[in-house]
Amino acid sequence: MGIASIDEGVTRAMPTGSCRQDTWTRMFGKGFLRLSTISPISYAEYAALSTDLSGVVLDDIRKDISRTNILTSLMEEEILLRILKAYAVRNPGVGYCQGMHILASMFLVHMADEAAVFWSLALVVEELLPDYYSRTMAGVHIDQQVLDILVHRTCVHSLHSLAQYHRRRRPRLPHVAAHLKTQDVDPSLFSTKWFVSVFVHTLPMPLVLRFWDAIAAAVATHANATADVAAILHGVALALLRHQSHGILDATDAPAILQSVQALDLSSPVDQDAFAHLAFATIESLQPSSIHAMRLEYQREQFVAREAAERLKGREAQGWAIPLPTPSNVQHLPIQRSWLAQFSMPRDVSDEWDISFAPGKTTSRWPRVSSSLGSVGLVLTKEGTAITVQRFVSKACVEKRSVVCVVVSCPSFVR
């Protein structure tokens, strides 16, 4: 993974109790110091401005605080309320989103200073877990797509050397992914909870703290730790799937699979150490830069989907076309496969396809697209109430009733 400080030995040596409070404050402080420095006002001023906060945001905060099982006193709950209200004032675009109380509670219990808790929360929400805590939860959806790719790619051969963990050979993750697909189980049914709570409501607290220690070490080591934190989250998620793989594959329907995923038995310190071995080995096998690149790719796809949805509002009579005004627009859209063989088009193109075109241009990335083909278009298909951005095509090929295309697999979106 390339982060020397993130391994099981270092995180096991992390101070505990009150010592962890000082350590986390110092480590996360290296990340949030910049935010607090450039902020026009201090935490105390945000808190003062939040005293008049009311309405849905305040109701949501109070509701979630009452369900928090991390804090141990009413005084801590009052401090948590003050911190979350202050953050709603700092970031009105987000306000309050479910899951933020979990982050703030973790920091409040394991950090030494109320202001440090506030700025650590800001660091996670605004930088380390981008767009996780928003109305659309776009960042969570992106990381679910990334996890899906990693599951299909991960074999984790090196982990079989962990004899103390692998009493028996565990199935490869692609087998697990195939079984989930066969049983029509969307991994988001369980991965949403994993990511939003950063495993607080999934793993025993001693394990949660070890992974949070790793996050703290990443923040302290790197000026921009976003990709490193992503690798930690995905490494733990992959380890969870691998740990539960036998139960998942033995399940014969969707409810049984979900029950198997949730039936996590890591109560003993020995089992927790074994899982930590598995998780940290998986984290070390991942490349943060690759995860970052995959995130960017899906962010572009989401941008295309949002742009199409905006342009298509109230334009049913004009079909499902989306303009591509410049060649550069075309070049920077995500591509997941190389040029494919020719496909037959429907006899009447307008029945199932609607295409709009931008000028074609020869590029090293798209060697088959040239000015001789006329232009490049975006094919959209309608599936019930959703629209899927499906292919790029050349105008010349459409005229011949055949298409040379690149499959983009953008997520569907509702009008």
Domains, in order of start, for the chain: 17-127 (1.10.8.270), 136-310 (1.10.472.80)
pLDDT (average), residues 205-217: 95
What's the rounded Cα separation, in Å, for the pair 98 and 335? 34
pLDDT (average), residues 110-117: 92
The pLDDT-based confidence of 70 (bands split at 50, 70, 90) is: confident
Is residue 277 within 8 A of residue 204, CB to CB? The reply is no
What's the rounded Cα separation, in Å, for the pair 318 and 309? 14
pLDDT for res 153: 76
Show the tokens assigned to 274.
Answer: 């074994």
Q: Picking from 165-169, 196-200, 275-279, which range would have the lowest pLDDT averaged per residue?
A: 165-169
Q: Picking from 235-249, 254-268, 398-412, which range would have the lowest pLDDT averaged per residue?
A: 398-412
Residue recorded with tokens 């987000």: 94
* Size of the chain, expressed as the number of residues it contains: 415
**CA neighbor of 411 nearest in space, from 151, 227, 140:** 140
Whole-number mean pLDDT of the chain? 74
The pLDDT-based confidence of 310 (bands split at 50, 70, 90) is: low
pLDDT in tens, 75-88: 999 999 999 999 99
pLDDT for res 298: 84
**CA neighbor of 326 nearest in space, from 349, 304, 359:** 359
Is the pLDDT score of 163 beyond 50? no
What's the rounded Cα separation, in Å, for the pair 14 and 213? 7
pLDDT (average), residues 203-208: 94
Is residue 156 within 8 A of residue 286, CB to CB? The reply is no
For residue 227, the SS3 value is helix
Is the pLDDT score of 164 beyond 60? no
Is residue 258 within 8 A of residue 102, CB to CB? The reply is no
Is the pLDDT score of 112 beyond 60? yes
The pLDDT-based confidence of 384 (bands split at 50, 70, 90) is: very low
Is the pLDDT score of 142 beyond 90? yes
The pLDDT-based confidence of 17 (bands split at 50, 70, 90) is: low
pLDDT for res 304: 63
**Considering the chain, what percentage of its residues have pLDDT values greater than 70?**
64
pLDDT for res 159: 40
Its pTM stands at: 0.71
pLDDT for res 399: 42
Q: Picking from 207-216, 234-243, 258-267, 325-334, which range would have the lowest pLDDT averaged per residue?
A: 325-334
User: Higher confidence at residue 163 or residue 174?
Assistant: 174
pLDDT for res 177: 85
pLDDT for res 131: 92
**Considering the chain, what percentage of its residues have pLDDT values greater than 90?**
45
The pLDDT-based confidence of 324 (bands split at 50, 70, 90) is: very low
Task: Return the half-sphere exposure (C-beta side, CA atoms, 13 A cut-off) of residue 249.
Answer: 15
Is the pLDDT score of 392 beyond 80? no
- Can you list the positions of beta strands (E) in 55-182? none
pLDDT (average), residues 187-207: 93
